[in-house]
Amino acid sequence: MADISDFWGHREKKQKTKNKKRIVRNWGTILSDKIKPLISITGNFFRRLTRLPRVLNRVDKIALGILLVIFLGLSGYKFDRDWLSKTNKVPAVGGTYSEVLVGEAKYLNPVLAKTDTDRTINQLIYSGLTKIIADGTIAPDLAKSWEISADGKTYTFHLRDNVVWQDGAEFSSADVAATINSIKDDNIKSPYFDAWADVGVTTPDQNTVVFQLKSPYGAFIYNTLFGIIPAHIDASSISSSPVGTGPYKFDKAVSGNNNSIDEVILQRSENYFGQKPYISEVDFQITSDETQASDKFNSWFGSSAVAGLTIKKDDVSNFSFTTSRDFGLVFNLANNKFKDVAIRKKINSSQIFSPKISFKLLVLDKPLSVSTAENLQTEYAKRGINITIDKKGAVDYTNLLAKRDYEAVLYGFDSSYDRDPYPFWHSSQIASGNNFSGFSNKAADLLLEDARMTADSRARNQKYDQFFAILSDQVPVIFLPNQNFVFSTKSSVLGIVGIKGFEPWDHLNDFSNWYLKTKRVRP
């Protein structure tokens, strides 16, 4: 039998519920009585506003419109000012950056890339074991660290963990070994073949690569800058469908009428292991003509930037840096005209020749080489030095160089990041190397040999300085001023804090910090 207290407790609970409902209904009635008049007044107000155009004359309408615009403007200004004062503008992800490159894109494969255009594009697709930073020093990239043995012949690289290719495959030491083996394949004709031909490669585990040199080479670390290609893709097809580990992945290439690549489009890679860039898409537009490059940049919907040209306009920023490239007037010391060091020194001075002297200058038939030779011809003529320019195409020029069949040659030097002059000036390179003057000096040879065995860059550069002092005294070559790389961008490209470098493709070293879009955030 149920307890009587339960009965009365249940009844009391029901009564409380009824009381609560009654209170809610009462408040609802009260609020309704209060709100209804307010709604009615508001409705009447807006109805009257709609009748204003029929009541006001033309002048009143104009005055009211002006007052409304002022009110809205002041309200917007106050809101914007308050918002600006409480927020900071920061870079945002998005936008398409387009850059015009003057040159030729042939190999989107870092193992084969030779042109500045190829290397500029490849820099964003691929990563190397190491990379160059703004001050010209080596920094880790795919390799997080490395050690050099005491004898300078063994380099051990430790790779980053959790790096993946742009197609999702896992990166490992096998990819590095496969890339080096591609370079060492004589059938591929890689420009890095000579640098790696005698280097042994082993992979103790998937995160370690060991390079074994036959003899110490202090500047070897600079040989590890080129991009690594994947082992799981045939090296012969990588150029048509590139896959790298860099900040951008290949989207498509557009070919022109002569099957040359006119455009390469890249997309931001979400798989990139480093600092992801802000810019979503990069569009490289390639032309062989500087006039066309200028037109592309200056058109109404023109590109964001142009490499190799200076554009003088109000909304354009111009940058430049001195490259490691220069031309040299190289004397063939086997030729009777230049055997006497006194003659070479006089040519390198400001002295006037009387009687006049004459010589033929071998020049590669390219615009920059020819214009440089013509300027030299004009200046030297003022001092009684008559230069006959012998322009040759690439094949004939190379053959004449190999045969040493010239009186003097205008040659383009590129000392790159480590100015190792050994290939051009050591006596061992006279017969079949790049010592095109035939220069031979025992003291100079010893300095070059010692420099190659010195791992410390500061000590190595001291030896280079001593060598160049000998070269300056003996004058087998007259070096012309280093070439400048110039670069122009529109004001829409943000985040550029100066541009430094040694090679033309270095202008994109800091590209991950550039941006086109912004957003405001609270601090």
List the structure tokens of 475. 């004058």
153 and 227 both lie in a single domain:
yes
Residues 223-254: tens digit of each pLDDT: 999 999 999 998 888 988 999 999 999 999 99
Of the three residues 245, 275, 291, the one that is the final residue of a domain is 245
Give yes or no for a contact between 450 and 438, defined as CB atoms under 8 angstroms apart: no
Residue 463 maps to a domain: yes
Of the three residues 245, 260, 293, the one that is the final residue of a domain is 245
136 and 217 both lie in a single domain:
yes
Beta bridge partners of 101: 286, 307
Residue 257 maps to a domain: yes
Helix (H) / strand (E) containing 35? helix 4-55
373 and 399 both lie in a single domain:
yes
Which residues fall within 8 angstroms of residue 45, CB to CB, at 6 or more apart? none
Residues 158-205: tens digit of each pLDDT: 999 999 999 999 999 999 999 999 999 988 899 999 999 999 999 999
Maximal C-alpha separation, the chain: 142
C-alpha–C-alpha distance, residues 224 and 201, integer Å: 13
Geometric angle at alpha carbon 193, from 190 and 194, rounded to 5°: 145
367 and 390 both lie in a single domain:
yes
Residues making up the chain, counted from first to last = 523
475 and 338 both lie in a single domain:
yes
Of the three residues 479, 497, 515, the one that is the final residue of a domain is 479
Residue 370 maps to a domain: yes
Model confidence, pTM = 0.82
155 and 300 both lie in a single domain:
no
472 and 508 both lie in a single domain:
no
Residue 116 maps to a domain: no
C-alpha–C-alpha distance, residues 307 and 119, integer Å: 13
Residue 186 maps to a domain: yes
Geometric angle at alpha carbon 117, from 115 and 119, rounded to 5°: 70
Residue 5 maps to a domain: no
Calculated CA dihedral for residues 41, 45, 51, 52, nearest 10 degrees = 150
Residue 118 maps to a domain: no
Residues 87-119: tens digit of each pLDDT: 788 999 999 999 999 999 989 999 999 999 999
pLDDT at 346: 97
Indicate which CATH number applies to the domain containing 471.
3.10.105.10
346 and 457 both lie in a single domain:
yes
Residue 371 maps to a domain: yes
| CA distance to 6, 34, 516, 520, per residue, from 493 (Å) | 79, 59, 5, 18
Domain total for the chain?
5
355 and 465 both lie in a single domain:
yes
Structural domain including 385 reads 325-479
Indicate which CATH number applies to the domain containing 275.
3.40.190.10
| pLDDT tens over the chain, length 523 residues | 444 445 444 555 555 565 655 655 665 555 555 566 656 666 665 666 666 666 667 777 787 778 888 888 777 776 666 666 777 889 999 999 999 999 999 899 999 999 999 999 999 999 999 999 877 789 999 999 999 999 999 999 999 999 999 999 999 999 999 999 999 998 889 999 999 999 999 999 999 999 999 999 999 999 999 999 999 998 888 988 999 999 999 999 998 777 789 999 999 999 999 999 999 999 999 998 899 999 999 988 889 999 999 999 989 999 999 999 999 999 999 999 999 999 999 999 999 999 999 999 999 999 999 999 999 999 999 999 999 999 999 999 999 999 999 999 999 999 889 989 999 999 999 998 999 999 999 999 999 999 999 988 899 999 999 999 999 999 999 999 999 999 999 999 999 988 989 999 999 999 999 999 999 887 7
Phi-psi region of 157 (alpha: psi -120 to 50; beta: other; left: phi over 0): beta
315 and 342 both lie in a single domain:
no
475 and 330 both lie in a single domain:
yes
265 and 330 both lie in a single domain:
no
Indicate which CATH number applies to the domain containing 175.
3.90.76.10
The SS3 of residue 325 is strand
Geometric angle at alpha carbon 269, from 263 and 275, rounded to 5°: 115
C-alpha–C-alpha distance, residues 110 and 130, integer Å: 14
